[in-house]
Amino acid sequence: MFTFILNIVFMLSLGTILYIVARALPRVEEEAEKSDRRKGGLLERWVTSEMPEKVDEFLSTFLSKLLRKFKVFLLKIDNSLGAHLKKIKPDSSRGEGNGGGFKDMAEEVKEE
């Protein structure tokens, strides 16, 4: 019971601190805006401009196009490898369905 009361007191004090900080926040933002107008380094001006959004949009479209082309390239390779595997796959019509092998070849030689 004692720990429950301590938890309630702790949460109430935390809530009070959060309320006080939230009430003081708008005053801090107004002061920060005034000081930002006076300052203006190259990096800060670049970050606040529209340029980062344009760069991000360009990079995202470029990356999506590049990945799409890479996907098509991989699919082409997959198709060619599949066709090559079909060509070299042993004929499974003879034998037990396991593709024959040396045992079947040895039996055919003995029969002849």
- Distance of alpha carbon 30 from the chain centroid: 38
Clarify whether residues 46 and 64 are in a common domain. yes
Please report whether residue 69 resides in a domain.
yes
Q: What's the rounded Cα separation, in Å, for the pair 28 and 36?
A: 12
Domain count, the chain: 2
* 30 pLDDT tier (thresholds 50, 70, 90): low
* Residue range(s) defining the domain that contains residue 74: 42-90
pLDDT of residue 71: 97
- Asked whether residue 47 falls in the same domain as residue 86, the answer is yes
Q: Percentage of the chain with pLDDT > 70?
A: 76
More confident residue, 55 or 69: 69
For the entire predicted model, the pTM comes to 0.41
Same domain, residue pair 63 and 31: no
Residue 108 in domain: no
**Are 17 and 47 within one domain?**
no
